[in-house]
Each structure stands twice: as C-alpha cells, then as structure tokens.
Structure 1
Amino acid sequence: MTRIVLSTGNVILSGPSIIRKPGTYRSNFELTNSLRTNFIAAQQDYAVALPNGNGYASHPQPNGNGTAHSSRPAPEVWTAREDDILYVPRIDWASAGLQEDRAQYEITVKLFFLPTAPPGARGRYIDEALGLVTKELGISDVDLLIVSFPGISFEGECEFEADRKNATMGNDEEEIATWGLLEKLHLQGQVGRLGVAEFGTEKLRRLLDKVRVRPAVDQINIKNCCNVPPPLTKLAKNENIELLTHHDTTDILPSGTLRELLGQGSQGAGVLADDGVNGSGLKGEVTPEWVVKYTAFVKDRGVIENKGYFAGAELTEEA
C-alpha cells in the first residue's frame, strides 16, 4: 500500500489577492487546475536541474490517445517517496513558511472527508491534513477549521425544501464521532474555532445537542436555492453561530478525476499506469480520502498571502 499526498503549492501566483467580494470559482476546478499547474512546474524545474536531461524518461510515456509523451520526465525525478508516502510533486519544505509574524494572520482550513474513504480512518486524515498545512505555513495552530462531511448538500427549489431535505442527509453518529476528534484539537489549542459545512436547521440542532464544543461557523452553499432559511438564521443567531456562504463542491476529488490527474493521458502526470495498458507507472486501485484547503489572510492589509490545497489518497498496488 502506498499513501499519496498531492499538493498545489501556493495558488496565489501574482502576489497577494485583495479581498473584495466572494468569488464564484468552484473549488473542484481550482483544485484540479492548480494541481496540474504544480505538476507541470515541478516536472520542468526538477528535470532541467539534472545534467544532460537525465531526468527525462528513456522510453516514451504513452498517453490515453495512443501517442507518446517523449519529453515527460520520469516520476522519480519530480516526486518524492518517504517510507510509504509518495509526494506528488516533491515539496521543498525549506522554502515553507509565512512572511510575517503568526499574529498577523487569520489561518482558515477546510477539510473535506470524501465519500470513497472509511469514516473510521478520519482521525488519521485529520492528523495528516493539519500536519501538512502547519508544516507548509510554518505554524503550530490554525484559527478556524471547517469540516465538510460526505453526503450532505443544501439543494432545493427553495430554501425551505433545501432545509427539509438536508435534515435526512449524512450520518449523525459518524459526524458526532468525528466532531469529538476535532474537539480534542480545540481543547489542546491546535484549533481556535470549529465549523461545519452544509448543516441545515435540524442537522445543526441535533449536533448542538450532542457536542461539548459548539461550532462557531456554519457554511451553506445556497447556489441552488434562494436564501438561507429563516429557521436556520434564527437558530444560528440564538446560538451565536456565524453563517457563511460558499461555492465549494462536497465531493471535491472523485476517483475518476484523481486517476485522470495522475494517469498517462494528455492531462495526466504519468504517475499511475492506465488500466489495461502495458506501460510505465504505478499499477493498482487509487482511492481519494480527503482534501484540505488552507488560506493565510493578512489581517491588517486585507490580503491573502498563501492559499493552497493538499489531498490524500491510498494506492492499493497490484502484485
């Protein structure tokens, strides 16, 4: 078994972005496009750094169209393996960290648990995701951690229908068990505030009845309905919970998308072998498990200095 960690690096490529208004760029597009961009940059940078072009594969790398990527560098050049973890691409931790003192930043993290991953492993996913973010930013804590559970959405022809349908979604027992893991991080000082995504009125009320550390934030995607339901607004106000809107996709990294990103096709990185094709690359079944999005916001200047994603997956290799 191989653990795969994918990273985008800092997606703020042209300097800090001034916060003006909420964007409409869906996170799944941002994630996949940023991963491809970072893969290509790493392939070019690490291959060029080697003498005589030795970083490039000695044999053509077949793509999904039957043609070849003769100039694609071998994966071992631009990826890195540490024990059972494969980093795609390799990460230069020496250049990690923020430019100013930690107190100058608001650090927000959103962790997506994916439907293809077992709920029983969420403790490990939390540790992996937060460990990568804190190492990348050179910090020891985050200000806000929002969790997105699989199988929960906020969609309907109106806000009342969306709220009614939301009440039956997800799995309360699994979500409460996971929340207990997050409460420990809060009590240990590793996370300042906790938040949830896509919790309508009834789901939020049931969560509040079962937890010790109450969510400070509830993110709602109202793209497919009209407004935040009045009962949810009232509940959030009474419980001092901040309601935020967002444009994230719950299933942010489906299995097919991940295999395409890492496969041999024209849009792929050449890390995984294509199914049914004799060629290079790791062979086996790849399962996406989690995605984490992080943002470092400079409070006094109103800009985002660092924003990026990590994703975790498991490769069950063929014998």
Structure 2
Amino acid sequence: MPAQQVPHTMGLPDFKQMVLYTGNVMRTRLINRTKAHQKMSNTELIDAIDDTIKTSLQGQDAPSFRYFSDESLLEVPDLRHNSIISIDDRDEVEVTAKLFSTNGTLYPTDVDNSILLLQRLLGVSSIDSFVLSSSSPITANKTWKSLENYYTQGVINKLGVSDLSEQELISVLDNPEFEVKPSMNQVNYSCCDIPASMIKLAKQYGVDLVYTLDSKDILTKQELTQILQTTGVINTKKSMSPRWVLKYDVFVKNRSVVADKGYIITGDIEISPSS
C-alpha cells in the first residue's frame, strides 16, 4: 500500500523495522569534521545517523519520514539533497557500494534489498563496484550466488570482498561452486605491511588489493539503540538491532572526486523481555 505521511504532532507510528538514508554526507556539516577523527572508526556513520534523525524527524520543516503499515516499516530519508544521477551524467560517474553485515550473516534477501534501495536512491540501473563485507563473508553460498546473478545480468560490473585473510581468500577463489570470483580484496594493512604471501596470492589470481579505512565493526546494536533512544525515536524499553549497512560513493571520473557519499541502514526493533 502507499506510504503514509505522518505529521510531527502525531508522533512516530509504532514501527518494527526501519530504513534510514543519511543523505550526502559530503554536503552536510559532517564534512567539516577532521578526517583523522574518522580514520579506522565508524564515527562518520554514527554522526550521519544522528544528523539525519535530528534533521528529518526533529526539524521545523514538513516531516520527511514515511510509514508502510503492511510491513510496520518506518522509512527515514534525508530530503535535503537529491542524489538522483541524471541519465546524461551516468557515464561520467562511478558508483561503488559496500554491504556490511552487522550480525555476522548476510542473506540473499539482504543483497536484493540493498541493491534495490540504492538503485532507487541514485536512479541507476547498474553499480560499477560492489564489495561484500562480513565476518563470515561467503560461508552461505547462496549469498554469493545472488551477487553472481546480478553480475551476469549486468547490474554489478565488479565484485569484491573485504578483510579476508589469505586462507579465507583462497577458500573463496578455489570454491568450485562460485563461477564469478572476487576481483578485489579490501585490506586494512598499510601499503608497507601487506604480507608478501598475500601480494603473491593476489597476483596469482588477479585480485586487486585495495586499501580501506572502513571499520570492520561498522555499527553495533548498542550504538544504534543509544542514538535512537537519545533522540526519542524509540523508548528505553526497546532496542534496535541493525540488519545491514550499505555504504555508497559516487565518483566523478574525470576529476577523481567524490560527488556523493552516504549510507543506508536497516534495523529491527527488539523489545525487552521485562517490558
């Protein structure tokens, strides 16, 4: 059914699921914060969630949240910036995405939903690069097979993984069930600390080693719950467990600059047994 706009005076509906879009963090007050403060941490994401809630749910303008009663889903978009990429500009930019597991497991439906939401947000049909980040990255073969389907359909042009050890990377590359192998592995080593054996392995299989500053623990239940309770989105009898986080970047190719960068966060309400 169509989304229902809920006025601020009525308060938030009793929702069980949430999808929150941080909007373009390159155009908010967050960009003024020191990059050093954000290195190897999830500070940028935490600040972006807090900023979006205060702007979208507590601002003075018209409400910018939607409620889908059939799914008991609250959607909190950031309407300050339009992230739609025009058809004329699509060839001039590169869209990259990274899907983080926040509970150790990613399912094919998580892949489906993350890609669909990003396509709608940016107005694109394809994603140039898609990285999977999970503490058990591809133990569930169906999840990677789902990504393979998007690759063969042309929705994703390049597949990658993140923070895999040598043994984990070998197990993926040598898995006979995987027809499409990852062409990159994001690593947290500095350029001088990457083990020689990892470099040799990557060259052998044609895998690019790409340095990343992303935190492995992108968002915890405690962190998300604290933000939502502090801002009054949920009461102290409830908590919210993040399901997954998708980070996306839109690069301008000829200038090598980031035009758009943001996050999509999904979570599920949990009620304390004592409540």
What TM-score does the superposition give when structure 1 sets the normalisation length? 0.71
* 2:22–2:78 Cα contact (<8 Å) kept: no
Q: Aligned match of 1:295 in 245, 249, 252?
A: 249
Which residue number in structure 2 is paired with residue 203 of structure 1? 168
Distance 2:137 2:209 in 1: 22
Counterparts of 1:195-274 in structure 2 under 5 Å?
Answer: 195-210=160-175, 211-222=178-189, 227-263=193-229, 268-274=230-236
Aligned residues: 250
Verify: 1:28 aligned to 2:13, yes or no.
Answer: no
Cα drift, residue 288 of structure 1: 1.0
Match of 1:81, SS state, is: strand
Cα drift, residue 140 of structure 1: 0.7
Verify: 1:144 aligned to 2:129, yes or no.
Answer: yes
Which residue number in structure 1 is paired with residue 120 of structure 2? 135
Q: Aligned match of 1:126 in 108, 111, 127?
A: 111
Distance 1:191 1:22 in 2: 32
Deviations 1:254-276 (A, max 9, x none): 0010101111xxxx32110013x
Letter in 2 for 1:229: P
Cα drift, residue 249 of structure 1: 1.4
Change (3 A) 1:308 1:124: same
Letter in 2 for 1:302: S
Deviations 1:186-224 (A, max 9, x none): 11111001000011211111111112101111001126x
Q: Which moved more, 1:94-103 or 1:214-223?
A: 94-103
Match of 1:314, SS state, is: strand
Cα drift, residue 178 of structure 1: 1.9
Cα drift, residue 129 of structure 1: 1.3
Change (3 A) 1:44 1:177: closer
Change (3 A) 1:36 1:314: same
* 1:193–1:216 Cα contact (<8 Å) kept: yes
List alignment gaps of at least 5 residues for structure 1: 50-76, 151-169, 276-283
What is the aligned-residue RMSD (CA, Å)? 2.9
Change (3 A) 1:137 1:22: farther
What TM-score does the superposition give when structure 2 sets the normalisation length? 0.81
Counterparts of 1:275-286 in structure 2 under 5 Å?
Answer: 275=237, 284-286=238-240
Cα drift, residue 40 of structure 1: 1.7
* 1:96–1:135 Cα contact (<8 Å) kept: no
Change (3 A) 1:173 1:39: closer
Which residue number in structure 1 is paired with residue 266 of structure 2? 312
Change (3 A) 1:199 1:92: same
Which residue number in structure 2 is paired with residue 13 of structure 1? 27
Distance 2:138 2:28 in 1: 42
List alignment gaps of at least 5 residues for structure 2: 1-14
Letter in 2 for 1:97: I
Deviations 1:43-79 (A, max 9, x none): 454x344xxxxxxxxxxxxxxxxxxxxxxxxxxx443
Cα drift, residue 177 of structure 1: 3.4
Cα drift, residue 317 of structure 1: 5.4
Match of 1:300, SS state, is: coil
Distance 2:211 2:83 in 1: 30
Match of 1:41, SS state, is: helix
Letter in 2 for 1:214: K
Which residue number in structure 1 is paired with residue 55 of structure 2? 41
Structure of higher CA gyration radius:
1
